[in-house]
């Protein structure tokens, strides 16, 4: 039971972080005139990840209808959630650092502050995290 509670609290924390990151990203993108495709993909993957985490949280809150997932499966899910948490914290730090140390406030409100290849890599990482969480959640019966 402790493992299930740990998974649920980890999922809640990662969901909260994803929500904050979506909001922070939207602060940048809402002021952009032309949204680069890499940024649109990144924001789309981040939003889909946030929705998956929300669905996962809902599934963890429901009483189990079948035999509870084994502890090994729950631990695997928690491991994936922690990987996602690390990715999201890294992205959040980059956005906060740029926001706090940007040289030109005008430029920050007009252009995306990161290179396209970095943004594409972030989108790919978020997509991979989403697929791993979805697979692990399906195995656990959530």
pLDDT band at 142 (very low <50, low <70, confident <90, very high): low
Exposed, middle or buried, 103 (CB in 10 Å: 0-12/13-18/19+)?
A: exposed
Q: Which of 36, 1, 21 is nearest to 125 (CA)?
A: 21
Distance, CA of 106 to CA of 85 (rounded, Å): 31
Structural domains counted in the chain: 1
pLDDT digits (tens, 9 = 90+) for 24-60: 888 878 877 778 889 889 989 999 989 988 888 887 7
Question: SS3 for 102?
Answer: coil
- Domain hosting 38: range is 2-140
Average pLDDT over residues 94-119: 71
63 vs 41, which has greater pLDDT? 41
Say what the pTM is: 0.77
């Amino acid at each position: 039971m402790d493992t299930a509670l740990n998974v649920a609290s980890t999922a809640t924390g990662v969901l909260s972080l994803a929500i904050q990151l979506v909001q922070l990203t939207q602060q940048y993108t809402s002021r952009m005139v032309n949204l680069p495709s890499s940024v649109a993909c990144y924001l789309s993957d981040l939003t889909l990840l946030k929705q998956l985490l929300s669905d996962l949280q809902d599934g963890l809150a429901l009483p189990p209808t079948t035999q509870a997932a084994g502890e090994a499966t729950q631990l695997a899910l928690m491991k994936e959630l922690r990987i996602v948490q690390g990715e999201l914290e890294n992205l959040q730090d980059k956005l906060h650092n740029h926001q706090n140390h940007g040289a030109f406030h005008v430029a920050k409100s007009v252009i995306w502050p990161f290179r396209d290849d970095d943004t594409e890599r972030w989108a790919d990482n978020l997509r991979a995290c989403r697929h791993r969480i979805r697979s692990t959640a399906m195995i656990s019966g959530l």
